[in-house]
Amino acid sequence: MSWLLVTFFALAVANGLIIPSFESMDEPEHFNYMRYLADGHGLPDQRDIATARAYNYYQEGGQPPLYYALGALVLQFVSEDVSDVEALTAPNPLSTCGDLSQPYSKGLYMRNPLREAWPYRGAALGVHLLRLFSAVLGVVTVSGVYLAARSAFPTVRNVGLVAAALVAFNPRFIVHSAAVTNDTLLAALSAWAIYLAVDTLRRGPSWPRSLALGTVIGLAAMTKVSGIFLLPLAGLALLDWAWREKAWARTFRHLVLIGLLSLMIGGWWYVGNMARYGGDPGLVPLVTQQTGLRTEWPVRPPIPEIRKFLHSYWTSANYCELRFGYFPLYGALSAVGIAGLVVGFLKASATARRGAALLLVWIAVVFAAWFRFNSMVFAPNGRYLFQAHAAIAPLLAAGLLALIGHWPAVWRGLVVGLGIAALATPVAILAPLFNPPPAYATDRVVAPNPLEATFGDQVRLLGYDVSAETARAGETIDVTLYLAADKPITESLALGLQLKSAGPRDDTVLVNFRNWPGGGNLPTTAWQPGEAFADRYRLHLPPDVSELQMWELRLMFFEYPRQEGSDDRVPVRVGDVEGGPYAVLGYLRVEPLKLAAVPEAAELHPPPGFGEGHEVTLEAAHVAPSDDGTGLRVTLWWRSHAPLGGDYTVFVHLQDADDTLWATGDDLPRGGAMPTSRWRSGDLIVDKHHVLLPEGLPAGQYHVSVGFYDAGGRLPAWDGNGRPRPEGSVVIGEWDHGGE
């Protein structure tokens, strides 16, 4: 068991070191309540909204004070100013909190690596000491779960170890045990209260046990309002024992002891609230006044929220929608445990059944309390179930062992597997989200694509790498930027990556990504002169790309916040060329998931060809007046069979019966967005041209002809029957112009 506790503690500490300061749920508010007490103030007045805002503890000031008083002692131990909370909680305007598609800038607050670096100082030091305290409380919780499982199921071998592993290797609980939150103290006290209640149910009351039980329940009630519900649970355990043993007088004495101790330790706060505020002794109305009450919930199906509630018990946090593991694994584990519990319950002894029933009652009480709270304040958060760890884990462990307990290799493998999954949380999930990229000397940079560019006089691009030159719609591409600073940077600059149409007259943007450098974890103010780092990003291409073309990959930097009336992009110098708003890194060819269908009505039978070896055929063409009546819209569907070996312009000519040229719509394919040098065998290029009609164009019959040319002349053209066309021109349609 000791190895399990040590492993859990190490994991919790590791998670606390990785997650940036104040980036756990409500962590600033919890911390500021402790700071308020550490500064010598008494309990806050929940009606004093101005002070709540000045100290930024908000609704947490209405919580029972035990956890915060203990935290205040920790902050006083720091013996230095911890009031620099605002420096670590500046809002992050580029936060992707809640956006599951983005792994960058997940925090609500701007990263400040200089203030968060070791050795910690100020508020950062206070946060990490309090997180260490939470990790210790997590160890206390796991220990209580172990004892509760052994007491509830004394005949089930190894039930304590498996139950403890289910909690110690619960990814969400590990992360929560690395946060400043009163949930950790409540989980620890609840686990021990449940153990003592189950032990009382099984062995009967004793004065030391009742003394401990009353003390723990009183402390739990001083930690969170829901801790009060442990008192009737203890009463239920005593009444069950009294019913079996017919020892009502003895039971009554123990009930009185437990009740008086609980009231003496925790009751004063509730009585004081009634005297001070009137109404609810738990201050729920005052707390919800600041969080805001729900209005839509009674008419909204609660099932999705219950699912989210259970999901976030194991592997996710509603805060920023962070994922700490794969819920199907833990969901399947829970289902197997429940099935085994049903099987085992039918064979269990009466004592084991009573213990299991008491644990089930506690789970029902905690769930009902959450359900009621969630109906008032949107809170489908599994952390509210941590108070029931010592009931959930023993039941699941007993159920699992009922099925696999006869195979030591299986249940031991399960424990090891849970440990490996828990280890993946800080290593594979949190570290990539919150760790800045490593720095190294600029002379060690070996960029696959060297490119010297300087943004302003601050940021220097040394080179880049792109994972592919071609991608399909819906896929991702990896972009690595090799960045450095030649001197200290005094302002935070955001970087942007764009995929903009390669056509110079087309402003369509396929991807528009903006982020702080280092995945949101290395602001430019933290860059050190002479150091470089590889900044890696994954860009997701939209799935609805319908036509093949090239896209220009641009890099830019932005001033933040934007100055009113000014362009926020930092000018860049690429080589000796100055003044542009961006640097072009290269071009990406993006293919649609499905090749565009050639419209049957526009098909050419048989299609004409172009090039000495018929490298290109014209599969279809369509000519129609433009919407404003000033010209013609000509759409061409080119099919590539082999490379043309250069960049050609498409000519689109309007001619009369005598082949007199009246108007043209010459342009590069797709306006330059799909040059012929990028065409590959099998490509279908949808190419649109506009032919502007001259004023006074005489009425009559006209035809539209097309072809290719470059500086060396026109490509040879062939009609559908393989006969050469004069001057490389193919007629694609007729047009009857009626005149003015």
CATH code for the domain in which residue 542 is found = 2.70.50.60
Average pLDDT, stretch 154-181?
Answer: 91
Q: Is residue 220 situated within a structural domain?
A: no
Answer yes or no: do 423 and 363 share one domain.
yes
Say if residue 411's pLDDT is above 90. Answer: no
Q: Which of 123, 66, 569 shows the shortest CA–CA distance to 268?
A: 66
CATH number of the domain bearing residue 613: 2.60.40.10
End-to-end CA distance of the chain: 94
Phi, psi (deg, nearest 5) at residue 422 = -65, -35
Write down the pLDDT at residue 576.
76
Judged by DSSP in three states, 587 sits in strand
Q: Does 352 share its domain with 419? A: yes
Lowest mean pLDDT among 26-30, 327-331, 558-562: 558-562
Cα–Cα distances in angstroms (integers) from residue 202 to residues 152, 194, 206, 233, 352, in the given order? 8, 12, 12, 14, 9
- Strand extents, DSSP E, 601-710: 609-610, 616-625, 631-640, 649-656, 661-664, 684-692, 700-710
- The answer on 468 and 392 residing in a single domain is no
pLDDT of residue 114: 78
Range of the domain at 176: 2-91+121-203+294-431
Q: What is the pLDDT of residue 739?
A: 60
Same domain, residue pair 300 and 334: yes
What residues contact residue 721 under an 8 Å CB cut-off, 6+ apart?
606
Single out the residue in 565, 591, 617 at which a domain terminates: 591
- Given a cut of 70, whether residue 688 has pLDDT beyond it is yes
Quote the mean pLDDT of the chain: 87
Residue percentage of the chain with pLDDT more than 90:
45
- pLDDT exceeds 60 at position 280: yes
Cα separation, 237 vs 230, whole angstroms: 11
Segment 51-78 mean pLDDT? 85
The reply to whether 280 falls in a domain is: no
Buried (b) or exposed (e) across 88-99, using 16+ Cβ within 10 A? Answer: bbeebebbbbee
CA distance 445 to 533: 8
pLDDT at residue 78 greater than cutoff 90 = no
Domain membership of residue 362 (yes or no) is yes
Contact 53, 93 (CB under 8 A): no
546, 569, 591 — which closes off a domain? 591
Give pairs for 197-200: CB < 8 Å, separation 24+: 197/230, 197/233, 197/234, 197/236, 197/237, 197/358, 198/148, 198/151, 198/152, 198/237, 198/355, 198/358, 198/359, 199/147, 199/151, 200/234, 200/237, 200/238, 200/241
The domain tally of the chain equals: 3
| End position of a domain, from candidates 431, 451, 468 | 431
Quick one: which of 465, 461, 463 has its CA closest to 493?
A: 461
605 shares a domain with 580:
no
Q: Do 384 and 447 lie in a common domain? A: no
User: Considering the chain, what percentage of its residues have pLDDT values greater than 70?
Assistant: 95
User: Is the Cβ–Cβ distance between 442 and 483 less than 8 Å?
Assistant: no
Query: Does residue 283 register a pLDDT over 70?
Result: no
Nearest to 519 by CA among 503, 495, 541, 542: 495
Q: Compute the distance between CA of residue 501 and CA of residue 639 in angstroms, rounded to an integer.
A: 21
What is the spatial distance between Cα 127 and Cα 686, in angstroms, rounded to a whole number? 58
Same-domain check for residues 682 and 653: yes
Helix (H, G, I), strand (E, B) or coil at 410: helix
Question: In what side-by-side order are the strands of the sheet with 549-559?
Answer: 470-472, 583-591, 549-559, 493-501, 509-515
pLDDT range class, residue 286, cuts 50, 70, 90: low
Looking at residue 220, what is its pLDDT?
Answer: 94
| 614 and 669 in a common domain | yes
- For the chain, how many residues are written? 740
- Residue 228 placed within a domain: no
Question: Are the beta carbons of 524 and 493 closer than 8 angstroms?
Answer: yes
220 vs 290 pLDDT, higher one: 220
Tell me what pLDDT residue 321 has: 65
Res. 699: pLDDT tops 70: yes
- Domain check: are 183 and 309 in the same one? yes
Give the tokens for residue 218: 């009183």
Q: Is 656 helix (H, G, I), strand (E, B) or coil?
A: strand
- Quick one: which of 223, 116, 731, 158 has its CA closest to 404? 158
> What average pLDDT does this structure show over 384-404?
90
Say if residue 581 is preceded by a cis peptide, omega within 30 of 0. Answer: no
- pLDDT of res. 40: 87
Q: 94 vs 18, 41, 492, 520, CA distance in Å?
A: 20, 36, 12, 8
Based on the fold, state whether residues 652 and 684 are members of the same structural domain: yes
Lowest mean pLDDT among 101-105, 289-293, 510-514, 680-684: 289-293
Query: Which SS3 state, helix, strand or coil, does residue 387 take?
Result: helix
Q: Do the domain assignments include residue 677?
A: yes
Are 553 and 614 within one domain? no
The predicted pLDDT at position 299 comes to 52
Rounded CA-CA distance 592/590 in Å is 7
Dist. CA 657–CA 198, nearest whole Å = 101
pTM reported for the whole predicted model: 0.83
Same structural domain for residues 65 and 168?
yes
Is the pLDDT at 231 greater than 60? The verdict is yes
Burial of 521 per CB tally in 10 Å (0-12, 13-18, 19+):
buried
Evaluate whether residue 208 is within a structural domain: no
Q: Is position 237 within any domain?
A: no
Q: Rounded to whole angstroms, how far apart are CA atoms 56 and 58?
A: 5
Please give, one letter per residue, the 3-state secondary structure of 14-70: HHHHHCCCCCCCCHHHHHHHHHHHHCCCCCCCCCCHHHHHHHCCHHHHHCCCHHHHH
Q: Would you say residue 238 lies in a domain? A: no
Closest to 110 in 3D by CA, of 455, 525, 538: 525
The three-state secondary structure class of 525 is: helix
| pLDDT score recorded for residue 495 | 93
pLDDT in tens, 130-165: 999 999 999 999 999 999 999 988 888 898 999 999
Give kind and range of the element (H or E) at residue 139.
Answer: helix 122-152
Say whether pLDDT at 93 is over 90.
no
